[in-house]
C-alpha cells in the first residue's frame, strides 16, 4: 500500500517536471521578418585612426523575450564570423531606441581557446552565411590575416627562446621570421582603414531560439583627423620670461604623432580661421574622393599664419606629459632639434594667441581654440620639494617607492553628537611617508575671533577627535578654525603648521571641512603628476596622478615582460604564425636614434652585411656630394648605421651565439624595460605648474638586476631604478617571533608531558559529555550522526572536526554503534571514510565498518541541510555531533535535531553561529575548544603539551594587551607601535 | 610507508608554505602559485568521488529495495537528467539546465532558507526565557539591541540606540575578539600539530 502511494507520488512529480519543461523546449512558430532586428547601420567612428566602426540597430520588442544579440562580421557578405554578443535582461528588456556595438581598436581575434574547426552557427539553414568564431585551423584563419591589422601578444620567453626561424622565400628575397604556434601567442585585431566590412545581427530568445539574421550591412572605416583639443591654458611668467602651457589629452590617440603649440599674432586671427575652414573642406574632400574617385580634389590655398613654438612626440600608448615650459631667451624661442627659431618679444606677449594641436601619422592636424596668456609670477607657482626613489621593501620586486615632503593631516568629516550641537566628532586622516615617523599631532581649535576652544594632543592617532563646543558659540554661523602641527622623527620644525576650517553646510546641516592650507598654499587645488621613463623609451609616461596631500607612491613595475609583434604571415605546413625578428634595443637620447638587432644569428649576420653595404654606399655618396649640407647628411646617416653595429649591447651580442645570445638579448630587454627614471610635476591643471628635475642620487641602492645585462648603463642605481625582489618580509618579524615563542613553548610542554609531569587542563563540559552521548546512542540502539562542517579540507576547523570524528568513530566502533557521516565537500569524503575505517580497525571491529555510512549528499548548502535533516528524521539518530565550520544552515539542522529528541553536541569557530548552537544544542564547544577537543579526547602527552602551550601563549597575549593599554594610557605608545596594524 | 610518505609530504610542504609567508621573493610567489594551480586541478577528480559515493549509497538502497528506495531512484534520475541536460544543451542562459537551476534548485534552496526565520523565532524563544539571572540579562540586552535597530527604539528614548550600539561595540565586540583570539591560537596550534606530525587523524586513524 505504502509502495503504491510512493509510486503515485513519483509519477506526479515527474508529470509536474515534464509540464514545466515544455516551455523550455517548445518554440512557437514565428514570422521570420518580425524576428529580425531593424535598421542595421554600420558607420565610421569619427576622430579615430581608421580602425573603428559603429554598428547599431533597432532591437526587437521586449515581448519577444530576447536574451542576447549576436554579431557577425566578414569581408564578404556570404561568410560572416561570430565576433561577440550583447546580453539583455529578459524581464526588463532594452530601454533605448537603438543598440550600439563598437568594433574599434585592438580586440580579440584568436587564441588557444578558439574552436578547433570552422563550424556553421547553431540552428542555421544550410545556405546561412553565419559561422562561429574564427577557428584554430590555420588554413582558415591564416587567410583572414590579410583582412585585418593583427597584433600578436607573446610572452618574452616564448618569443626569445622558443620561437622557430622560418624562411619565407619570395621572388625578390628571402626573409626570416620567428614562427610561433598558436599556444605561444594571443592575437588581437584592428580593422583596416578604407576596407569594406560586412556585419549582421541575430537575436536569441530566452529559450535559445536563434532568430534569422538581418541582411548584412556594409561599412568602411576611414582615417579621420584627430579630435579637437578641448582645453589649453597658457601662462606667462613675467619674472622668468617663460611660457607655460597645459592641455587636455585626446580620447583616441592611437594614430597621434605629436603635440604642438603655435603662436598667432592677433592681427592674423582671421587668416588662421580661414585656413582652418579650408583645412576642414580639404579633409571632407579627401573622404569624398575616397567614396567617389571622380570628385575634384580640393587643396588648401591659404597659408597657415601660426608659428610653431613647441612640438613633442605624443607618447602613445602611454599617458604622456600634458605640460610644457617654453623659455624665451633673448626675445626668441629656439629648439634646434625641432627646427624652431621664433621671435617672441616679452613685452608683446599679449599681442599673440596660442593654439595647441594634435597631429597624426597621416598628416592631419587639429587645432584647439586660440587662447591668450594669463600673466603670473614664479612665486605664484606651486612649491615642490625634492623627492626620493627607493626600492619598496618586503615585496617580490615589482614596486619602486617614491616619497616626498613632510607629513600632512587633514579633516575628513564632522558629525554632531547631540541636538544642541555642542558635541562634535571630527574625523581626520594622516598622510606620511617612510622618512617621517609621526609621534604626536597637535590640534588647536579656535573660533573666528581667535579664542581657543580646544587643544588636543593626539599621541595615539585613532583618526577621531571629540570636541566640546561652548554653548554660546553658534557653529552654524561662525566656522571653526583648526591649526595642526606635528611631533615627528626626524623633526619637521616648529613652523610647519597646516590649517583648515570646518564650515556649516545648511543643505546637509553638518560641518564640512574646507580646503587645507600649508601656509598660503591651498593643498586641495593642486595635484602631483608622477612621470617615469625607461631606458628604451623616448617619452615620459604618467605613472600616477595623486592629490597634493599625498606624500608617497608605490609605482608598480610588472615582473613579466610581453612582446608585441604584428602578425601578417603564416606557415600552414608548420602550423605557425610568423612575426618579425627585429628587436629594438636601447634608445639613444643624444642621437635620437633607436638601435636594433635581429633575433636569430643568421638574421643578425645578414643585417650586419646589409648595414656594411649601406655604409659603403653612403660613404661613396658622401665622397661625391657637392654641398656641405649633403655631406653632413651622409655623415650622420653613416654614424647612425655604425651605431647599430657598434653600440655596447650589439658588441656583447656579437660574442655570443644561438640560445645563449637570445637569452642575453631577452634579459637585456627585460632589464631595460624594468629600469625607470622619475620626475614629478605639481600642477593646478591650468598651466601653473612646477616641474622637478629628474631624480638622481649619489648613493645608489644595491641592485637585483644582473649587472652584466645592464650593458653600458652607468646611471643604473643612481638615475635608473629597478625594484629588488626581497628574501624576507621585515614587517613579519613580530609574527615570526611570536611563532618561534609558541613553537618553543610547544616543545617545552611536550617534553614535560613526556617526562610524566601531570599537566592540568581545565575541564570542558562539552568534551566530557562526548562519551556519555555515545553511550546513550548505544543504550538506545540508534545511530550517531556526525557532521564535520560544511567547508573544505583547507579549513583548519574541518581538520579539527575530522580529528574529533576519529575519536568518536573509535568509541562508537568499540560500542558497536552505527555512525553516520554526511559530507558536503568532495575532498573531505575520502578522508572521512578513511578515518572511520581506521577507527573500526583500531577498535578491533573491521567487520562493522560500512563504507556507505560516510556518504556525500551535495555541495549545495541548503540541499545538504535537507539531506541531513532527512537522515535525522528517518534514522532517528540518538546523538548528533556538529564539529567544524557552519553558516546559516546551522540552526536548521540543530532545530530539527532538537525536535527529534537527540542529544546534540556542537563545536565551531564561526562566531555568528555560536549563539544558535548554544541555544539549541545540549553542549557547545566555543571557538578554541573545538581545536582542543581532539587533545582532550586523546589524553596523550604530545597533544596535551600543545594544548598547554596554547594556554601559555594566550597568557602572554593577555599580558601584552594589558601592558599596551596601561602604557598607551600614559602616552607611551612604543609597545603598540611595535606591532603591525594588520 | 603508507603513513610515512604522506606525512613526509605534509611536513615538507607545510614548512615550505610557512616559509612562503615570510618570503616575498618572486621565486617563492611563483612556487606557491604553481602549487595552488595543482590543488585546483585536484578538485574535478574529487567530484567523481562524490558522484560515486552518491551512486553507491542510493544504488545499494535501490538494489536492496530498502524502505523509501523510490526516493533514491528519483535522486539518481535527477542527477543523470541534470548532468545530461548540461552536457547536451549547455549551461548558458535559456538552456534546460539553467531553467532547472532557476525554477527547481533556487526555489527549493530559498524555501529551506526561509524556514530559518521560524527556527530563529523558536530558538529566540528558548534563549530568552528568563529562567536564570544570565538568561534575564540576555533577554534585556536582546530587547535593547533589537529596539535600537528600528525607529521605534529612537521614538521611545534616545538612549536605546546609544545603549544598543554600546552593547554591540563594547561587550559584544570584546567577546567576539576574545573568541577570535582563541580561534587564531587554536588554528595555529592545530596547524603546528599537523606540521610536526602530532595530529595525524586526517591520514586515517587516530595516530
Query: Can you give the residue ranges of every domain in chain B?
Result: 1-89, 129-207
Burial of B66 (0-12, 13-18, 19+ CB in 10 A): exposed
E strand segments, A432-560: 437-446, 452-458, 464-468, 480-489, 497-505, 510-518, 521-522, 527-534, 541-547, 552-556
Cβ–Cβ gap B190/A796 under 8 Å:
yes
User: What's the confidence (pLDDT) of residue A229?
Assistant: 96
CA distance A516 to A518: 7
What CATH number has the domain spanning A387-528? 2.60.40.10
User: What's the confidence (pLDDT) of residue A946?
Assistant: 87
CA-nearest residue of chain A to B191? A796
Contacts of B193 in chain A (CB under 8 A): 942-943, 946
Alpha-carbon distances, residue A423 vs A417, A473, A939 (angstroms): 5, 12, 58
User: What's the confidence (pLDDT) of residue B95?
Assistant: 86
Which among A68, A802, A862 has the least Cβ separation from residue B112? A862
- Model confidence at B92: pLDDT above 60: yes
> Which of A192-201, A498-507, A705-714, B66-75 comes out lowest in average pLDDT?
A705-714
Determine how many CB atoms are found less than 10 A away from the CB of residue B169.
10
CA-nearest residue of chain B to A795? B187
Expressed in angstroms, the distance from the first to the final Cα of chain A is: 66
Q: What's the CA dihedral at A573, A575, A577, A578 to 10 degrees?
A: -40
Place of cell 586526517: B202
Alpha-carbon distance A477 to nearest alpha carbon in chain B (angstroms) = 27
- Model confidence at A161: pLDDT above 60: yes
Which among A206, A852, A895 has the least Cβ separation from residue B57? A852
Angle at A575 between CA A570 and CA A581, to 5 degrees: 50
CA distance A306 to A272: 7
- Model confidence at B207: pLDDT above 50: no
- Model confidence at A4: pLDDT above 80: no
pLDDT in tens, A493-510: 989 999 999 999 999 999
The average confidence (pLDDT) of chain A is 91
Which among A10, A725, A803 has the least Cβ separation from residue B199? A803
Which among B43, B112, B176 has the least Cβ separation from residue A911? B176
Which among B43, B57, B206 has the least Cβ separation from residue A855? B57
- Model confidence at A95: pLDDT above 80: yes
- Model confidence at A2: pLDDT above 80: no
Which among A559, A806, A909 has the least Cβ separation from residue B26? A559
Asked if B82 and B99 touch (Cβ cutoff 8 Å), the reply is: no
Confidence band of A712 (pLDDT split at 50, 70, 90): low
E strand segments, B65-160: none
Strands A352-360 and A365-367: antiparallel
Return the closest-CA partner of residue A676 out of A400, A396, A404. A400
User: What's the confidence (pLDDT) of residue B206?
Assistant: 45
Alpha-carbon distance A574 to nearest alpha carbon in chain B (angstroms) = 31
Asked if A877 and A776 touch (Cβ cutoff 8 Å), the reply is: no
Mutation target among B11, B17, B22, B191 for the A interface, most CBs of A within 10 A: B22
Cβ–Cβ gap B25/A396 under 8 Å:
yes
CA distance A269 to A302: 13
Cβ–Cβ gap A834/B204 under 8 Å:
yes
* Residue pairs between chains A and B whose CB atoms are closer than 8 Å: 231
User: What's the confidence (pLDDT) of residue A435?
Assistant: 94
Interaxial angle between packed helices B4-22 and B173-195, expressed in degrees from 0 to 180 and rounded to the nearest 10? 130
Asked if A317 and A188 touch (Cβ cutoff 8 Å), the reply is: no
CA distance A895 to B119: 7
CA distance A684 to A192: 40
A901 contacts: CB under 8 Å, gap ≥ 6: none
Q: Where are the domains of chain A?
A: 34-147+189-219, 232-380, 387-528, 732-758+942-975, 764-939
pLDDT > 70 fraction of chain A, expressed in percent and rounded = 96
Asked if A835 and A800 touch (Cβ cutoff 8 Å), the reply is: no
Which strands make up the sheet holding A38-44, listed edge to edge?
Answer: A38-44, A53-58, A99-103
Which among A865, A918, A957 has the least Cβ separation from residue B181? A957
Place of cell 599674432: A265
Q: Is the dihedral of CA B60, B61, B65, B71 positive or negative?
A: negative
CA-nearest residue of chain B to A808? B206
Interaxial angle between packed helices A733-754 and A941-969, expressed in degrees from 0 to 180 and rounded to the nearest 10? 140
Asked if A778 and A739 touch (Cβ cutoff 8 Å), the reply is: no
Cβ–Cβ gap B94/A206 under 8 Å:
yes
Alpha-carbon distance B185 to nearest alpha carbon in chain A (angstroms) = 6
A19 contacts: CB under 8 Å, gap ≥ 6: none
Cβ–Cβ gap B192/A934 under 8 Å:
no
- Model confidence at A9: pLDDT above 70: no
Cβ–Cβ gap B189/A725 under 8 Å:
no
Return the closest-CA partner of residue A467 out of A409, A413, A407, A508. A413
Alpha-carbon distance A204 to nearest alpha carbon in chain B (angstroms) = 9
- Model confidence at A778: pLDDT above 90: yes
Confidence band of A45 (pLDDT split at 50, 70, 90): very high
Asked if A34-147+189-219 and A764-939 have one fold, the answer is no
CA B179 to chain centre: 18
pLDDT in tens, A409-462: 999 999 998 888 999 999 999 999 999 999 999 999 999 999 999 999 999 899
Return the closest-CA partner of residue A3 out of B161, B106, B69, B175. B69
Return the closest-CA partner of residue A809 out of A770, A780, A776, A779. A770
Contacts of A823 in chain B (CB under 8 A): 53
Confidence band of A28 (pLDDT split at 50, 70, 90): very low
C-alpha cell at A597: 638587432
pLDDT in tens, A574-633: 999 999 999 988 777 777 778 889 999 999 999 999 999 999 999 999 988 888 888 988
Cβ–Cβ gap B96/A953 under 8 Å:
no
Quick check: helix, strand or coil at residue A569?
A: strand
Contacts of B183 in chain A (CB under 8 A): 909, 927-928, 931
Over residues B15-24, mean pLDDT? 93
C-alpha cell at A606: 645578414
Interaxial angle between packed helices B26-63 and B4-22, expressed in degrees from 0 to 180 and rounded to the nearest 10? 140
Cβ–Cβ gap B206/A891 under 8 Å:
no
- Model confidence at B99: pLDDT above 60: yes
CA-nearest residue of chain B to A65? B94
Contacts of B50 in chain A (CB under 8 A): 826, 829, 856, 859
Q: In the CATH hierarchy, which top-level class contains the domain A34-147+189-219?
A: mainly beta
Which among B21, B57, B201 has the least Cβ separation from residue A934? B201
Q: Give one DSSP letter per residue of B180-201, joined into a string.
A: HHHHHHHHHHHHHHHHTTS--G
Q: Is the dihedral of CA A489, A491, A494, A497 positive or negative?
A: negative
Alpha-carbon distances, residue A862 vs A203, A824, A876 (angstroms): 36, 11, 21
User: What's the confidence (pLDDT) of residue A19?
Assistant: 56
C-alpha cell at A511: 560641518
Helix, strand, coil tally for chain B in percent (to 5):
85, 0, 15
Contacts of A91 in chain B (CB under 8 A): none
C-alpha cell at A207: 529559450
Interaxial angle between packed helices A889-900 and A861-875, expressed in degrees from 0 to 180 and rounded to the nearest 10? 10
Determine how many CB atoms are found less than 10 A away from the CB of residue A297.
10
CA distance A431 to A442: 15
User: What's the confidence (pLDDT) of residue A27?
Assistant: 44
Asked if A261 and A356 touch (Cβ cutoff 8 Å), the reply is: yes
Cβ–Cβ gap A725/B89 under 8 Å:
no
Which strands make up the sheet holding A374-376, listed edge to edge?
Answer: A323-327, A242-247, A232-237, A374-376
Which among A20, A205, A914 has the least Cβ separation from residue B103? A20
Q: How many CA atoms lie within 13 A of B140 on its CB side?
A: 7
A764-939 CATH pick, 3.40.50, 3.30.420, 1.10.10, 3.90.1150: 3.40.50
- Model confidence at A895: pLDDT above 90: yes
Contacts of A796 in chain B (CB under 8 A): 186-187, 190-191
User: What's the confidence (pLDDT) of residue A171?
Assistant: 79
Confidence band of B167 (pLDDT split at 50, 70, 90): very high
pLDDT > 90 fraction of chain A, expressed in percent and rounded = 72
Strands A784-787 and A879-883: parallel
- Model confidence at A26: pLDDT above 50: no
Quick check: helix, strand or coil at residue B178?
A: helix
Amino acid at each position: 500500500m505504502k509502495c503504491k502511494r510512493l509510486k503515485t507520488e513519483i509519477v506526479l512529480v515527474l508529470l509536474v517536471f515534464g509540464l514545466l519543461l515544455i516551455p523550455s523546449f517548445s518554440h512557437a512558430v514565428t514570422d521570420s521578418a518580425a524576428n529580425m532586428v531593424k535598421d542595421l547601420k554600420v558607420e565610421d567612428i569619427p576622430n579615430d585612426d581608421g580602425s573603428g566602426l559603429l554598428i547599431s540597430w533597432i532591437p526587437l520588442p521586449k515581448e519577444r523575450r530576447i536574451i542576447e544579440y549576436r554579431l557577425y562580421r566578414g569581408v564578404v557578405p556570404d561568410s560572416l564570423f561570430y565576433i561577440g554578443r550583447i546580453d539583455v535582461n529578459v524581464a526588463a528588456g532594452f530601454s533605448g531606441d537603438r543598440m550600439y556595438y563598437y568594433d574599434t581598436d585592438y580586440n580579440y581575434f584568436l587564441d588557444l581557446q578558439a574552436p578547433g574547426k570552422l563550424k556553421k552557427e547553431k540552428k542555421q539553414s544550410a545556405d546561412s552565411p553565419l559561422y562561429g568564431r574564427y577557428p584554430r585551423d590555420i588554413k582558415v584563419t591564416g587567410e583572414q590575416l590579410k583582412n585585418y591589422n593583427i597584433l600578436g601578444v607573446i610572452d618574452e620567453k616564448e618569443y626569445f627562446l622558443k620561437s622557430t626561424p622560418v624562411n619565407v622565400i619570395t621572388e625578390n628575397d628571402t626573409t626570416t621570421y620567428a614562427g610561433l604556434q598558436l599556444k605561444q601567442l594571443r592575437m588581437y585585431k584592428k580593422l583596416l582603414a578604407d576596407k569594406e566590412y560586412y556585419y549582421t545581427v541575430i537575436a536569441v530568445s530566452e529559450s535559445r531560439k536563434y532568430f534569422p539574421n538581418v541582411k548584412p550591412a556594409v561599412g568602411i572605416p576611414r582615417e579621420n583627423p584627430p579630435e579637437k583639443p578641448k582645453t589649453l591654458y597658457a601662462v606667462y611668467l613675467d619674472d622668468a620670461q617663460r611660457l607655460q602651457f597645459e592641455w587636455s589629452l585626446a580620447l583616441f590617440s592611437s594614430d597621434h604623432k605629436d603635440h604642438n603649440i603655435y603662436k598667432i599674432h592677433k592681427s592674423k586671427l582671421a587668416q588662421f580661421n580661414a585656413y582652418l575652414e579650408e583645412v576642414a573642406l580639404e579633409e571632407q574632400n579627401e573622404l569624398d574622393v575616397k567614396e567617389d574617385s571622380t570628385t575634384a580634389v580640393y587643396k588648401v590655398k591659404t597659408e597657415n599664419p601660426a608659428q610653431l613654438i613647441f612640438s613633442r612626440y605624443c607618447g602613445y600608448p602611454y599617458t604622456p606629459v600634458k605640460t610644457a615650459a617654453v623659455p624665451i631667451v633673448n626675445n626668441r624661442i629656439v629648439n634646434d632639434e625641432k627646427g624652431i627659431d621664433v621671435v617672441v618679444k616679452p613685452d608683446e606677449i599679449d599681442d599673440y594667441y596660442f593654439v595647441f594641436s594634435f597631429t597624426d601619422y597621416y598628416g592631419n592636424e587639429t587645432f584647439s581654440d586660440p587662447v591668450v596668456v594669463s600673466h603670473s609670477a614664479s612665486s605664484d607657482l606651486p612649491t615642490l620639494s625634492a623627492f626620493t626613489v627607493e626600492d619598496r621593501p618586503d615585496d617580490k620586486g615589482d614596486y619602486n617607492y617614491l616619497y616626498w615632503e613632510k607629513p600632512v593631516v587633514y579633516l575628513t568629516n564632522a558629525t554632531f553628537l547631540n541636538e544642541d550641537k555642542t558635541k562634535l566628532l571630527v574625523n581626520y586622516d594622516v598622510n606620511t611617508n617612510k622618512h617621517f615617523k609621526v609621534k604626536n599631532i597637535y590640534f588647536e581649535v579656535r573660533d573666528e575671533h581667535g579664542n581657543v576652544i580646544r587643544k588636543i594632543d593626539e599621541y595615539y592617532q585613532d583618526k577621531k577627535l571629540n570636541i566640546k563646543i561652548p554653548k554660546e558659540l553658534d557653529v552654524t554661523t561662525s566656522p571653526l578654525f583648526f591649526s595642526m602641527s606635528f611631533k615627528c622623527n626626524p623633526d619637521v620644525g616648529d613652523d610647519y603648521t597646516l590649517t583648515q576650517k570646518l564650515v556649516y553646510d545648511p543643505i546637509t546641516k553638518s560641518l564640512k571641512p574646507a580646503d587645507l592650507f600649508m601656509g598660503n598654499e591651498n593643498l586641495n587645488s593642486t595635484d602631483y603628476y608622477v612621470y617615469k621613463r625607461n631606458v628604451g623609451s623616448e617619452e615620459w609616461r604618467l605613472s600616477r596622478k595623486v592629490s597634493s596631500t599625498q606624500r608617497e607612491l608605490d609605482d608598480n613595475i610588472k615582473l613579466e615582460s610581453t612582446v608585441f609583434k604584428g602578425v601578417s604571415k603564416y606557415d600552414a605546413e608548420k602550423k605557425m604564425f610568423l612575426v618579425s625578428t627585429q628587436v629594438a634595443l636601447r634608445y639613444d637620447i643624444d642621437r635620437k636614434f633607436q638601435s636594433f638587432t635581429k633575433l636569430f644569428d643568421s638574421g643578425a649576420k645578414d643585417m650586419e652585411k646589409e648595414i656594411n653595404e649601406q655604409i659603403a654606399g653612403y660613404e661613396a655618396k658622401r665622397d661625391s656630394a657637392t654641398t656641405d649640407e649633403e655631406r653632413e647628411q651622409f655623415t650622420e646617416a653613416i654614424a647612425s648605421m655604425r651605431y647599430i653595429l657598434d653600440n655596447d649591447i650589439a658588441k656583447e651580442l656579437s660574442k655570443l651565439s644561438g640560445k645563449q645570445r637570445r637569452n642575453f638579448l631577452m634579459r637585456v630587454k627585460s632589464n631595460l624595460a624594468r629600469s625607470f627614471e622619475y620626475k614629478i610635476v605639481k600642477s593646478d591643471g591650468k598651466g601653473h605648474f612646477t616641474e622637478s628635475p629628474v631624480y638622481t642620487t649619489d648613493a645608489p641602492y644595491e641592485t637585483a638586476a644582473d649587472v652584466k645585462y645592464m650593458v653600458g648603463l652607468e646611471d643604473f642605481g643612481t638615475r635608473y631604478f629597478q625594484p629588488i625582489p626581497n628574501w624576507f618580509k621585515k614587517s613579519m618579524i613580530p609574527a615570526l617571533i611570536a611563532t618561534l615563542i609558541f613553537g618553543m613553548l610547544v616543545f617545552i610542554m611536550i617534553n614535560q608531558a613526556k617526562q610524566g609531569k601531570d599537566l592540568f587542563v581545565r575541564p570542558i563540559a562539552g568534551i566530557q559529555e562526548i562519551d556519555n552521548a555515545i553511550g546513550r546512542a548505544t543504550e538506545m540502539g540508534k545511530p550517531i550522526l556526525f557532521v564535520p562542517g560544511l567547508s573544505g579540507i583547507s579549513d583548519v576547523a574541518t581538520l579539527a572536526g575530522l580529528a574529533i570524528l576519529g575519536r568518536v568513530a573509535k568509541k562508537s566502533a568499540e560500542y558497536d554503534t552505527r555512525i553516520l557521516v554526511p559530507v558536503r565537500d568532495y575532498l573531505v569524503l575520502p578522508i572521512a571514510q578513511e578515518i572511520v575505517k581506521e577507527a573500526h580497525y583500531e577498535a578491533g571491529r573491521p567487520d562493522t565498518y560500512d563504507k556507505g555510512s560516510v556518504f556525500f549528499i551535495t555541495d549545495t548548502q541548503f540541499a545538504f541541510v535537507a539531506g541531513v535533516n532527512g537522515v535525522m528524521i528517518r534514522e532517528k539518530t540518538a546523538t548528533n555531533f556538529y564539529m567544524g565550520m557552519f553558516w546559516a544552515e546551522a540552526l536548521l539542522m540543530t532545530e530539527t535535531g532538537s525536535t527529534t529528541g537527540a542529544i546534540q553536541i556542537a563545536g565551531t569557530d564561526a562566531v555568528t553561529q555560536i549563539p544558535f548552537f548554544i541555544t539549541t544544542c545540549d553542549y557547545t564547544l566555543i571557538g578554541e575548544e573545538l581545536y582542543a577537543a581532539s587533545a582532550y579526547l586523546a589524553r596523550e602527552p604530545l597533544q596535551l603539551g600543545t594544548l598547554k602551550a596554547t594556554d601559555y601563549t594566550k597568557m602572554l597575549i593577555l599580558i601584552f594587551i594589558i601592558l599596551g593599554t596601561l602604557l598607551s594610557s600614559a602616552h607611551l605608545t612604543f609597545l603598540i607601535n611595535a606591532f603591525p596594524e594588520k | 610507508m603508507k603513513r610515512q610518505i604522506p606525512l613526509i609530504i605534509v611536513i615538507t610542504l607545510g614548512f615550505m608554505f610557512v616559509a612562503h609567508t615570510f618570503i616575498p621573493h618572486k621565486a617563492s610567489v611563483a612556487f606557491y602559485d604553481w602549487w595552488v594551480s595543482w590543488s585546483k586541478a585536484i578538485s574535478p577528480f574529487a567530484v567523481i568521488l562524490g558522484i560515486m559515493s552518491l551512486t553507491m549509497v542510493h544504488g545499494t538502497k535501490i538494489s536492496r529495495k530498502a524502505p523509501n528506495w523510490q526516493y533514491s531512484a528519483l535522486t539518481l534520475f535527477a542527477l543523470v537528467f541534470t548532468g545530461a541536460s548540461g552536457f547536451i544543451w549547455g549551461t548558458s542562459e535559456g538552456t534546460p539546465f539553467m531553467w532547472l537551476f532557476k525554477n527547481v534548485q533556487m526555489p527549493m534552496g530559498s524555501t529551506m532558507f526561509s524556514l530559518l526565520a521560524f527556527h530563529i523565532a523558536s530558538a529566540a524563544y528558548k534563549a530568552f526565557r528568563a529562567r536564570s539571572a544570565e538568561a534575564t540579562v540576555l533577554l534585556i540586552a536582546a530587547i535593547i539591541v533589537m529596539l535600537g535597530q528600528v525607529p521605534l527604539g529612537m521614538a521611545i528614548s534616545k538612549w536605546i540606540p546609544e545603549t544598543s550600539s554600546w552593547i554591540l561595540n563594547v561587550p559584544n565586540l570584546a567577546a567576539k575578539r576574545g573568541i577570535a583570539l582563541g580561534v587564531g591560537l587554536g588554528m595555529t596550534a592545530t596547524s603546528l600539530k599537523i606540521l610536526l606530525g602530532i595530529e595525524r587523524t586526517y591520514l586515517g586513524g587516530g595516530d
